[in-house]
Structure 1
Amino acid sequence: MPFLFRPSGSAILPAAIALHLGLGETPALGETLRSPDGRLHLDLELKDGLLCYSLDRDDTPLTNLSKAGIRWHDAAPRWSDLQIETSTHDSRWKPVWGKREEVRDHYSEARATVTLPDDTATPLTVVFRLYDEGLAFRYELADAGGESRSVRLLEDLAEFHFAKDGTCWSYNGENPNKGPEPLGAASGTRRLPLTARLDEKTYVSIAEADLDNFGWLELKAAGGSASFTSSIETTPIELPFRSPWRVLVIGDTPGCLVDADLLENLNPPCAIDDPSWIRPGVTFWDWRTWGYEAPDGFSYGLDMASWKRFIDYASETGVPHLLLDANWYGPEFDPASDPTVSRDHLVKQLPSGEVVREPAPEDWKEPIDVPALITYAKERGVGIFLYINDKARIRYDFEKTLATYREWGAAGIKYGFMKANSRRQKVTKTREIIELCAKYRLMCNFHDGPMPPGGLHRTWPNCMTVEFCHAQADAKKSFSPTTFNTSVFVNMISGPIDMNNGMFGLADAHKARPRVFQPIPSTIVGECARTLIAFSGQAIVLDAPESFAAHPELFSFLTAQKQPWRESETLDGAIGEFIVMRRTASDGTILLGATTNEKGRTVEVPLSFLESGTYSATIFEDKPDTHFETRKESYRSRKAEVRADDTLTLTLAPGGGACVRFTKQ
């Protein structure tokens, strides 16, 4: 008889029933698992010796029968003796920082164990978890003999056969996302996350979580059908073994995918005993100001005077950090550049963009002294992040380098251009760097083709952000409004991303700043809104203090983004078109940001998220003549008294946005 499991209550319930099916038996088990809200139903089946699953949503098929499992033998597996144990779990936890101050971890679980007739000492358990927000499953291999041994994983059998066609978008490294494309027309390899719209009320994102000591998953499109198979590296592993989670995040709107806590819930709890030193928030960045001449004639470079200007303005405005980027210790790609010494030379950028080192002149009035700079910053309440290139890590003792930065009093590091020979090696190196940084109480972020974050900021909240996107103004590529309004619904599903938004001096920025390689396609209000919308432990903003000081009222919206966030919610949006996001800062200030693609639009925002009473809303909007290619810095501000039963109308210029700050009266 089929086993019907209907979870109830909120305790962790050990299963008292195990189901058995033998080799070759094909009947479905019926409704094996149901999500806590009852909308998702998971069926498991042993079909022709293979474990398969299917998923319904609101009694409508979401996936057709799809395989789950791994292969570590040359021959295709034919499993037998399927046993299923079920339980439920309901708990709450508080992140160090994240999208909200408390997260509920509520799921139904089925542990499906199968064996191979010729290898009964190595049973495979596929752990399925069904949340209101979606489905996750992972593989566990135990050694029944109790002795650790090695096997080679050859294949991940996981399939994702959607029950209907739709439209999809996928992560594409430091390039605009792939898509929109019909699911059934996709061909070749797709990287995760892959977000799909199946119909107007069904959105799905394929992702993975808890990625540790294993290469990330890629998908192979079946071609001609809305189906994908899995692609992993051949990987030697030690038993016992647990794989990363394969995840289907599911929601009624694309915003539900953005707001989901599913990936964070699938990661282990915080591994840092005392994370009180971790300080998320806005970060100034010196890199894009190189060569910029301020209105008072000051020319920005990699020097103490420039950095002190940043520090002084950060201290004055409450910005918590400054990031010193590449070349502060010498040309970053020069293996001889020692990352633990203050420089006795000058680094210059030639008109061609090439970076060269020159001896410091004898009359150099203020030599680089990074430890002294860090002390200067700490006295003013500002933390300093220090860039380090992969070459410096390889050439010099990396742990000694981090210990030195800790001794100096640095707040963290930015890691660039990591080289790796495999996906697994990049994941392993990343985790090693994060853990070493935690040992020395350093925050960190990663650029230049990083591993998928996969919600790891729950376990390692000192990892603040990653350039898991096409960063604005970077790599001499043009970042489009469509790219931003796509990446937030695709890349950002995986975790915090650093898009390098926040440029205020947009008019001819690529001419005034040698390190801004292309015109930035945005508006000044759109830039401010993007810093709020892009989920990150560090909103790394790329302009000079003088540009921000020229718009103090608008800049106050940026400095009001005080983390950790109490609450976040995507209020509206369409993939590749627009998004409306609200977040509540740590001091209770409610902030709202909206952005649009190349098409201007008006959005209606119901204010039902406000509590009772009257609020003062400070609204920043593009003007009627604002455009992301021409009049980029044209905007207006207004104030309005609003209540929870009001609807706010916001006008967004092409490529622009709107920002609103709510204050309780």
Structure 2
Amino acid sequence: MRIMPAIRGGLMMKGISLSLVAIGFACCATSGYAQAGIPAVRLASPDGRLAITIGTRDFSTPLAARSQLYYSVELAGEPLVAHSPIQLRLRGAPPIGGGLAILDTMRRAVDEHSELAYGKTRYLHDFCNEYQILLQETDAPHRTIRLTARAYDDAVAFRLHLPRQPQLKEIAIEAEHTLFDLRPGAAYVLPFQNFRHHYENNYSVQRTEAIDPATLIALPLLVHLDSGPWIAISEADLEDYAGMYLAASEAKPGAFISRLAPLPADTSLVARLATPHDLPWRVFMVADHPGHMIESNVIMNLSDRSVIEKTDWIRPGKVAWPWWSARTVEGRDFQGGMNTATMKHYIDFASAAELEYLLIDADWYGRHNDPGEDITTSIAEIDLPEILSYANEKGVDIILWVMWANVRDQMELAFPLYERWGVKGVKVDYMNRDDQEMVNFYERVVALAARYHLTVDFHGAYKPTGLRRKYPNLLTREGVLGLEYSKWSDRCTPEHEVILPYTRMLAGPMDFTPGAFNVGTRATFRHSVVPPMAQGTRAHQLAMYVVYESPLQMLVDHPTSYLGQPGLEFLKVVPTVWDETHFISGAVGDYIVVARRKGVEWYVGAMTDWTARDLSIPLAFLGDGRYLAQLYSDSSDGERDPTTVAVRMEEVTREDSLDVWLAPGGGCAIRIVPTWTP
């Protein structure tokens, strides 16, 4: 989010399109003389419960040896994050963050409504209080910075802005030392040992004071504070900067310190910047139950508005994906593989199942891991013009897989060519980094793709940070240990799958790639590349299409697995974008129930770990009138045979509840339609 037009004493702010109400100024020195010291300023949310405080104080730590800028967070008067210093360490210059005094401040209330191209809700309501403070160092080199804080009812956030000035034109940042001094609690840690990875690992639950400082913790980090609420830390509006991780503080057990991904060519630096420059928002979602964070749009609210004026060409939807099933073909007179006949076979399935896309994955243009391959020419076995023509006749669009290094070198040639061919999207893979250079690569890709009317799906990707609001052609991204791991490991468990909505999914859409119909119980599951199998029940897989947010959803299994099977009718109709999203019930790592609305229809997804559960799902989210609910749930034999799906219909109102039984690793997917004419 870039801050632009001036509205007070040299303090620059971004315009708000609807309602912007100034609620107070604490202007101190528009004549240019700084007021000594920074009195603590408390900024409360509109409902008054959540607050962030900004000030300066002396910290007896090596990172903050003098009066230092800090923040703290509280809920209903109880501290969540204690005084935590903020500092930037620079190459060839003193650190930024200490010895500051006020030049100017301003408060405002933000109340803005906007419509999204798509998402988990149709509309955004940006409703918060904001505080901006312009600061200057009291000693040479007298640099100025601006800190902006926001308080929402469900989150607080802050960010730094580095204005253009003679003593701060171009800077090299060695580290950002932001402390996160949380109250003790249990953390859901996504651990890594270095910065070269693809955000694919299992979560572990650890006490905050017992986490190894050598562990890199990927965001979002979810923590259940002792005797208190839940808090999730992430970032928003990450542009031209390095992705942030956390590490346990060695100096202060239980606290965390920011760690930024270093530049690949100079690992002693995390960013090279030219001012003016906005650093990303540091975001704290807060809730009495982590499920309510699933409803939050704070990451989107803190991100730039769309720069794509017309978005009607952007088509969310469902995708036939031959890769997961190893391009299996059954009952035909040709061999499945990366060839024209196989792709046409999957196009036939996509058309019959009313899917929007076929994804032609790795190897269509050559070796998938060779940066020297040409992404503008297909291999001999793939007649791309024939495939595209056939898909067009069947009403199916094509997405092409491409390796990121090939895209880096050839996208100016390839993307306009893809548009001329009739290709509708690209899946860019293998980045496995989130340093400043790679963050900039992501934006270059989606910007150029938008010019040529291509949607984008990033794999081997880092977490979402709101870029999809600025470029809504960015439909989804991976950045998750997804169903593909079932092909070579037992790591993609039902427990893992009911941790993800409360952790990774808080950042934004995730391309988990659900839809396996070849499934096994805890006793019968065996990982296998061919034929692949998933853990849990078919109804568990169906529920993922409601629980998991992704405007582009894969159907991973081969056509014969789906055709004629209960559940395919649900997959034909379930949307991938929504007008409303509601968390119903659940517990992290145990189970989850989510309801989403598209138009007048509601969909409910329920998933459990390896524990069988009886659930009663209240339907208070429905409107008035009577509805017909169609349930796809585990059969009474589901504990023994997870491929069985029970289908039943019930007439319901908002006063009713639906009782469902979930088998171990089970689930339930529900479609609810009005019996009255809308």
Whether TM exceeds 0.5 here: the answer is yes
> What does residue 68 of structure 1 align with?
86
How far does residue 657 in structure 1 lie from its aligned partner after superposition? 0.6
Selected match of 2:241 from 206, 214, 219: 214
How far does residue 25 in structure 1 lie from its aligned partner after superposition? 4.9
Question: 1:355-376 CA distances to partner (integer Å, 9 max, x unpaired)?
Answer: xxxxxxxxxxxxx321221122
> What does residue 62 of structure 2 align with?
none
Selected match of 2:50 from 21, 40, 54: 40
> What does residue 516 of structure 2 align with?
503
Matched ranges for 1:443-522 at <5 A: 443-448=455-460, 450-474=461-485, 476-478=488-490, 479-506=492-519, 514-515=529-530, 519-522=533-536
Selected match of 2:395 from 381, 403, 407: 381
Greater alpha carbon shift after TM alignment, 229-238 vs 272-281: 229-238
> What does residue 564 of structure 2 align with?
550
8 Å CA contact 1:622, 1:634 repeated in 2: yes
> What does residue 598 of structure 1 align with?
610
Instruction: Provide the C-alpha distance between the structure 1 equivalents of 2:226 and 2:538, rounded to a whole number of angstroms.
Output: 34
Do structure 1's residue 96 and structure 2's residue 117 form an aligned pair?
yes
The code of the aligned residue for 2:472 comes to P
Do structure 1's residue 531 and structure 2's residue 531 form an aligned pair?
no
The code of the aligned residue for 1:262 comes to V
Instruction: Provide the C-alpha distance between the structure 2 equivalents of 1:47 and 1:303, rounded to a whole number of angstroms.
Output: 66
How far does residue 120 in structure 1 lie from its aligned partner after superposition? 5.2
> What does residue 229 of structure 1 align with?
257
Q: How high is the sequence identity, in percent, across the aligned residues? A: 27
Selected match of 1:185 from 205, 210, 220: 210
Selected match of 2:660 from 631, 650, 653: 650
8 Å CA contact 2:295, 2:581 repeated in 1: yes
> What does residue 308 of structure 2 align with?
272
Matched ranges for 1:390-401 at <5 A: 390-393=404-407, 397-401=410-414
> What does residue 7 of structure 2 align with?
none
> What does residue 341 of structure 1 align with?
377
> What does residue 318 of structure 2 align with?
282
Instruction: Provide the C-alpha distance between the structure 2 equivalents of 1:206 and 1:143, rounded to a whole number of angstroms.
Output: 29
The code of the aligned residue for 2:176 comes to D
How far does residue 218 in structure 1 lie from its aligned partner after superposition? 1.1
Do structure 1's residue 241 and structure 2's residue 270 form an aligned pair?
no
Greater alpha carbon shift after TM alignment, 473-482 vs 324-333: 473-482
Greater alpha carbon shift after TM alignment, 52-61 vs 64-73: 64-73
Unaligned segments of structure 1, at least 5 residues: 1-8, 347-367
8 Å CA contact 2:233, 2:285 repeated in 1: yes
How far does residue 44 in structure 1 lie from its aligned partner after superposition? 2.1
Instruction: Provide the C-alpha distance between the structure 2 equivalents of 1:510 and 1:371, rounded to a whole number of angstroms.
Output: 40
RMSD (Å) for aligned C-alpha atoms: 2.6
Instruction: Provide the C-alpha distance between the structure 2 equivalents of 1:101 and 1:554, rounded to a whole number of angstroms.
Output: 27
Do structure 1's residue 577 and structure 2's residue 590 form an aligned pair?
yes
8 Å CA contact 2:553, 2:576 repeated in 1: no
8 Å CA contact 1:465, 1:498 repeated in 2: yes
Q: Indicate the SS of the match to 1:132.
A: coil
Q: 1:305 to 1:67 in 2, by over 3 A?
A: same
8 Å CA contact 1:426, 1:451 repeated in 2: no
How far does residue 632 in structure 1 lie from its aligned partner after superposition? 2.2
Q: 1:36 to 1:434 in 2, by over 3 A?
A: same
Do structure 1's residue 326 and structure 2's residue 362 form an aligned pair?
yes
Instruction: Provide the C-alpha distance between the structure 1 equivalents of 2:578 and 2:22, rounded to a whole number of angstroms.
Output: 33
- TM-score, scaled relative to structure 2: 0.87
Q: Indicate the SS of the match to 2:151.
A: strand
How far does residue 114 in structure 1 lie from its aligned partner after superposition? 2.1
8 Å CA contact 2:353, 2:568 repeated in 1: no
How far does residue 110 in structure 1 lie from its aligned partner after superposition? 0.9
Instruction: Provide the C-alpha distance between the structure 2 equivalents of 1:569 and 1:272, rounded to a whole number of angstroms.
Output: 28
> What does residue 631 of structure 1 align with?
641
Q: 1:513 to 1:419 in 2, by over 3 A?
A: closer
Q: 1:76 to 1:423 in 2, by over 3 A?
A: closer
Question: 1:523-544 CA distances to partner (integer Å, 9 max, x unpaired)?
Answer: 1110111122111111112011
Instruction: Provide the C-alpha distance between the structure 1 equivalents of 2:273 and 2:207, rounded to a whole number of angstroms.
Output: 37
Instruction: Provide the C-alpha distance between the structure 2 equivalents of 1:483 and 1:533, rounded to a whole number of angstroms.
Output: 14
Q: Indicate the SS of the match to 2:483.
A: coil
How far does residue 329 in structure 1 lie from its aligned partner after superposition? 1.6
How far does residue 390 in structure 1 lie from its aligned partner after superposition? 2.8
8 Å CA contact 1:170, 1:490 repeated in 2: no
The code of the aligned residue for 1:412 comes to G
Q: Indicate the SS of the match to 2:468.
A: coil
> What does residue 418 of structure 2 align with?
405
Question: 1:313-357 CA distances to partner (integer Å, 9 max, x unpaired)?
Answer: 32233211110100112222245532212322x4xxxxxxxxxxx
How far does residue 301 in structure 1 lie from its aligned partner after superposition? 1.8
8 Å CA contact 1:195, 1:204 repeated in 2: yes
Instruction: Provide the C-alpha distance between the structure 2 equivalents of 1:330 and 1:467, rounded to a whole number of angstroms.
Output: 23
Q: 1:55 to 1:457 in 2, by over 3 A?
A: same
How far does residue 515 in structure 1 lie from its aligned partner after superposition? 5.0
Q: 1:170 to 1:222 in 2, by over 3 A?
A: same
Question: 1:190-243 CA distances to partner (integer Å, 9 max, x unpaired)?
Answer: 111101112576111100011111111111212674311112243221111110
The code of the aligned residue for 1:644 comes to R
Q: 1:458 to 1:241 in 2, by over 3 A?
A: same
The code of the aligned residue for 2:365 comes to Y
8 Å CA contact 2:101, 2:138 repeated in 1: no
How far does residue 604 in structure 1 lie from its aligned partner after superposition? 1.7
Question: 1:423-467 CA distances to partner (integer Å, 9 max, x unpaired)?
Answer: 11221111111111111110011112x122112211111111111
Instruction: Provide the C-alpha distance between the structure 2 equivalents of 1:506 and 1:42, rounded to a whole number of angstroms.
Output: 47
Selected match of 2:627 from 591, 607, 615: 615
Question: 1:547-599 CA distances to partner (integer Å, 9 max, x unpaired)?
Answer: 11131x411222222243111111111111111111112x4321111101111
How far does residue 507 in structure 1 lie from its aligned partner after superposition? 5.8
Instruction: Provide the C-alpha distance between the structure 1 equivalents of 2:38 and 2:439, rounded to a whole number of angstroms.
Output: 38
Greater alpha carbon shift after TM alignment, 610-619 vs 306-315: 306-315
Q: 1:427 to 1:27 in 2, by over 3 A?
A: closer
8 Å CA contact 2:130, 2:148 repeated in 1: yes
Q: Indicate the SS of the match to 1:469.
A: coil
Q: 1:291 to 1:177 in 2, by over 3 A?
A: closer
Q: 1:323 to 1:185 in 2, by over 3 A?
A: same
> What does residue 312 of structure 1 align with?
348
The code of the aligned residue for 2:436 comes to R
Instruction: Provide the C-alpha distance between the structure 2 equivalents of 1:16 and 1:609, rounded to a whole number of angstroms.
Output: 41
8 Å CA contact 1:166, 1:184 repeated in 2: no
Q: 1:152 to 1:296 in 2, by over 3 A?
A: closer
Q: 1:512 to 1:111 in 2, by over 3 A?
A: closer
Greater alpha carbon shift after TM alignment, 75-84 vs 533-542: 75-84
The code of the aligned residue for 2:292 comes to C
8 Å CA contact 1:98, 1:565 repeated in 2: yes
Q: 1:213 to 1:11 in 2, by over 3 A?
A: closer
Q: 1:433 to 1:333 in 2, by over 3 A?
A: same
Q: Indicate the SS of the match to 1:255.
A: helix
The count of residues paired between Structure 1 and Structure 2 equals: 624
Q: Indicate the SS of the match to 2:622.
A: coil
Q: 1:167 to 1:580 in 2, by over 3 A?
A: same
8 Å CA contact 1:33, 1:110 repeated in 2: yes
Instruction: Provide the C-alpha distance between the structure 2 equivalents of 1:503 and 1:384, rounded to a whole number of angstroms.
Output: 21
How far does residue 16 in structure 1 lie from its aligned partner after superposition? 3.0
8 Å CA contact 2:316, 2:577 repeated in 1: yes
Do structure 1's residue 156 and structure 2's residue 176 form an aligned pair?
yes
Instruction: Provide the C-alpha distance between the structure 2 equivalents of 1:251 and 1:35, rounded to a whole number of angstroms.
Output: 13
Q: 1:227 to 1:262 in 2, by over 3 A?
A: same
